[in-house]
């Protein structure tokens, strides 16, 4: 069963060794186990539903609790400390577009709001019920998961928007195809969620981001059905798909999506290369991106992430063997790990590897084969389970991500890391922060940050520490000209900062579109725009 207060299946764990625990203690400080409220106790706090009876809506308290929060750190804090204070009044699980239309009609008649729900993997508050006098209905799309059309000639497939990553890939692989969209949340996230948040996968360099894969679909809005035909190209005015992408449920409910698919590759391989330091690695991957090398993935970890990842994986013998090899080649404490993916026919894969290694060698890179790449591939969707382990040890983990042009990236990366590492100094707390690049473009790349700090004694203090860190890093992102979100969307956590990125006219334009398709404001209000007023520097 899926955990109600953590990541993933309750049958899966990510144990770490004593050496890893000692490392965290040295870097952050000794911790005491984080709290874990009992399900029964939190369930007892679920208030009576404000909804009248409806055949498609369950008012069961257990179901409402399980749909009350996503996977952001504030969500974890409220669930683990047992301080959840807002719940949906009901959960609907439509099986057809007619069901969806019926739910929209019910919401309009009763004054309720609707919150589209995919896999519950949101990390920025997109699926949380707002504080409102209006009852909230979470619309779980999990029953709409089937592939309804496969056009092998055109390489197009149409799915119900509630299909999860594994189920989508299983349906395609039976016919020799793949979508190739592999975010870290792949195990539970859904096609509709990917579209609604402009998701990016780990191998987007080859397959494309979701905006490249999303060819068309249907969105049921309060004002009617928005039909998006899967044209290969069109100059018939602005592309309405771009309005739907990243809309976070504010326009309506995505019921089906047509996506561009790719025949399965003959083979996929992942190789590891070490560089003497971050700057050498960045210059190498910039050249790889701008030379359009036929790779499917370029993932560069900074020195701290390289060290931390290897320690938490518990591969001491392997680590020592690589250290001896790399020291002999002049690579020491500041070494950074690059993983490259090859997804093609064998001949093209060999050519891509040769070209990539030529670039790497010109920046003192050392190729160490496929062992680390194979290890990463095996655990690529398992890593989020580490959050459960670390919380149980007393450490909170959060991530944030952005993107910069190459010119701004080095200074921005250092400034953001420093804002995180020094953010809790007034409280005498240490923060372990590190970063990686996992999506590259000709003009720039993303930066993905992970930061770990000790869980405080209370939910309020832990949340306060998170706000300080999130705010400091977000302001540094904007100060250096980065986007407030590269792949996680806006939700509620980024509301305050979106204003600077979009500008006054941009925000007004979004409001106008939402007003046109949802004039009574029943679709996921308070997300993306129209957040709460600023409080302590953040719109939360």
Q: Dump pLDDT digits (tens) for 389-434.
A: 999 999 999 999 999 999 999 999 999 999 999 999 999 999 999 9
Residues 288, 334 within the same domain: yes
Answer yes or no: is pLDDT of 538 > 50.
Answer: no
Q: Phi and psi (nearest 5°) for 181?
A: -100, 110
Give CA–CA dist 239/262, Å, rounded: 23
pLDDT in tens, 208-227: 999 999 999 999 999 999 99
Average pLDDT over residues 287-307: 97
- The confidence score (pLDDT) of residue 347 equals 76
Q: Which class for 86: exposed (0-12), middle (13-18), buried (19 or more C-beta within 10 A)?
A: middle
As a whole-number percent, the residues of the chain with pLDDT over 70 amount to 98
Residues 178, 247 within the same domain: yes
- The confidence score (pLDDT) of residue 240 equals 97
Answer yes or no: is pLDDT of 29 > 70.
Answer: yes
Residues 234, 324 within the same domain: no
For residue 164, is it within any domain?
yes
How many CB atoms are located within 10 Å of the residue 173 CB? 12
Residues 312, 242 within the same domain: no
For residue 178, is it within any domain?
yes
Range of the structural domain that residue 292 is part of: 267-380
Average pLDDT over residues 437-446: 98
- The confidence score (pLDDT) of residue 304 equals 97
Q: Which of 365, 380, 395 is the last residue of a domain?
A: 380
Q: Where is average pLDDT lowest: 102-111, 276-285, 309-318, 479-488?
A: 309-318
Q: How confident is the model at residue 532 (pLDDT cuts 50, 70, 90)?
A: very low
Residues 255, 274 within the same domain: no
- The confidence score (pLDDT) of residue 399 equals 97
The average confidence (pLDDT) of the chain is: 95
Specify the DSSP element, H or E, that contains 228: strand 224-228
- The confidence score (pLDDT) of residue 534 equals 36
- The confidence score (pLDDT) of residue 325 equals 81
Q: Which of 263, 286, 307 is the last residue of a domain?
A: 263
Specify the DSSP element, H or E, that contains 459: helix 459-479
pLDDT in tens, 135-167: 999 999 999 999 999 999 999 999 999 999 999
As a whole-number percent, the residues of the chain with pLDDT over 90 amount to 91
CATH number of the CATH domain containing 245: 3.30.465.10
For residue 151, is it within any domain?
yes
CATH number of the CATH domain containing 361: 3.30.70.3450
Give bridge partners of residue 269 from the DSSP assignment. Answer: 342
For residue 488, is it within any domain?
no
Residues 256, 274 within the same domain: no
- The confidence score (pLDDT) of residue 402 equals 98
- The confidence score (pLDDT) of residue 537 equals 44
Answer yes or no: is pLDDT of 536 > 50.
Answer: no
Query: Contact, 482 vs 437, CB < 8 A?
Result: no
Residue 165: name the closest of 155, 179, 176, 149 by CA.
179
Residues 310, 367 within the same domain: yes
Q: Which of 380, 409, 431 is the last residue of a domain?
A: 380
Q: How confident is the model at residue 540 (pLDDT cuts 50, 70, 90)?
A: very low
- The residue length of the chain stands at 540
Specify the DSSP element, H or E, that contains 305: helix 303-313
Residues 218, 296 within the same domain: no
Q: How confident is the model at residue 2 (pLDDT cuts 50, 70, 90)?
A: very high
For residue 220, is it within any domain?
yes
Answer yes or no: is pLDDT of 316 > 80.
Answer: no
Average pLDDT over residues 47-73: 98
Average pLDDT over residues 337-351: 86
The total number of structural domains that make up the chain: 2
Tell me the C-alpha to C-alpha distance, in Å, between residue 503 and each of 249, 446, 486, 507. 21, 22, 18, 6
């Amino acid at each position: 069963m899926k955990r109600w207060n953590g990541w993933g299946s309750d049958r899966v764990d990510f144990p770490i060794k004593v050496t890893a625990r000692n490392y965290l203690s040295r870097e952050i400080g000794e911790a005491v186990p984080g709290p874990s409220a009992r399900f029964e106790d939190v369930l007892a706090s679920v208030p009576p539903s404000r909804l009248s009876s409806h055949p498609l809506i369950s008012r069961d308290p257990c179901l409402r609790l399980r749909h009350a929060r996503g996977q952001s750190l504030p969500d974890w804090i409220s669930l683990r400390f047992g301080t959840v204070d807002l719940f949906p009044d009901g959960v609907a699980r439509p099986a057809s577009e007619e069901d969806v239309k019926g739910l929209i009609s019910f919401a309009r008649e009763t004054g309720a709001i609707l919150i589209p729900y995919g896999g519950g993997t949101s990390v920025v508050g997109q699926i949380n019920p707002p504080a409102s006098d209006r009852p909230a209905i979470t619309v779980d799309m999990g029953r709409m998961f089937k592939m309804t059309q496969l056009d092998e000639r055109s390489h197009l497939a149409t799915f119900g928007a509630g299909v999860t990553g594994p189920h989508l890939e299983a349906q395609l692989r039976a016919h020799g195809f793949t979508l190739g969209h592999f975010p870290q949340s792949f195990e539970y996230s859904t096609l509709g969620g990917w579209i609604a948040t402009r998701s990016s996968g780990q191998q987007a360099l080859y397959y494309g981001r979701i905006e490249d894969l999303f060819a068309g679909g249907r969105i049921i809005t309060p004002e009617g059905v928005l039909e998006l035909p899967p044209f290969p190209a069109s100059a018939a005015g602005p592309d309405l798909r771009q309005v739907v992408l990243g809309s976070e449920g504010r326009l309506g409910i995505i019921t089906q999506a047509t996506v561009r698919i790719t025949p399965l590759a003959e083979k996929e391989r992942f190789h590891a290369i070490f560089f003497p330091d971050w700057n050498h690695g960045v210059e190498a991957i910039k050249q790889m991106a701008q030379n359009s090398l036929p790779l499917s993935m370029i993932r560069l970890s900074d020195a701290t992430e390289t060290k931390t990842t290897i320690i938490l994986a518990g591969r001491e013998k392997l680590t020592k063997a690589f250290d001896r090899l790399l020291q002999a080649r002049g690579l020491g404490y500041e070494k950074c790990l690059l993983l490259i993916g090859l997804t093609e026919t064998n001949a093209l894969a060999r050519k891509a590897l040769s070209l990539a290694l030529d670039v790497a060698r010109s920046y003192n890179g050392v190729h160490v084969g496929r062992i680390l790449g194979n290890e990463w591939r095996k655990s690529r969707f398992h890593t989020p389970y580490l959050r459960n382990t670390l919380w149980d040890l007393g450490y909170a983990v959060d991530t944030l991500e952005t993107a910069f042009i190459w010119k701004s990236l080095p200074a921005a990366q250092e400034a953001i890391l420093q804002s995180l590492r020094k953010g809790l100094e007034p409280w005498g707390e240490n923060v372990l922060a590190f970063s990686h690049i996992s999506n590259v473009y000709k003009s720039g790349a993303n930066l993905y940050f992970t930061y770990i700090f000790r869980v405080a004694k209370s939910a309020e203090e832990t949340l306060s520490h998170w706000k300080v860190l999130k705010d400091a890093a977000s302001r540094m992102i904007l100060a250096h000209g980065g986007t407030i979100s590269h792949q996680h969307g806006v939700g509620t956590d980024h509301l305050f900062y979106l204003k600077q990125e979009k500008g006054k006219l941009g925000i007004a334009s979004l409001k106008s579109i939402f007003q046109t398709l949802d004039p009574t404001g029943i679709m996921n209000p308070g997300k993306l725009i129209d957040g709460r007023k600023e409080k302590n520097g953040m719109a939360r």
